[in-house]
Amino acid sequence: MLLPARRVAPGGIARGLDASADMLALARANAAQAGLANARFLRGHIEDSDRAGRSYQRP
């Protein structure tokens, strides 16, 4: 997730999804250590998401 957060357009946000609270805590700590304020981490399963199998960009 750190690489996408570095590559998004200015003002963009990179989102990561994981079912594990431990992995989310690690990802948030890594993003903070890297100084990435545009990385967002959500808990859940992709199969339950309305975005399953898709990617998107906001205007």
User: What are the structural domain ranges in the chain?
Assistant: 2-44
Q: What percent of the chain has pLDDT over 70?
A: 85
Q: 35-49, pLDDT tens digit by residue?
A: 999 999 999 987 787
Q: Rounded to an integer, what distance in angstroms lies between the CA atom of residue 35 and that of residue 47?
A: 30
pLDDT at 57 exceeding the cut of 80: no
pLDDT for the residue numbered 10: 86
Q: Check whether 9 has a pLDDT greater than 70.
A: yes
> For the whole model, what pTM was predicted?
0.74
Three-class secondary structure of residue 41 per DSSP: strand
Q: Taking the C-alpha atoms of 26, 27, 28 and 29 in order, what is their torsion angle to the nearest 10 degrees?
A: 50
**Rounded CA gap, 55 and 59, in Å?**
13
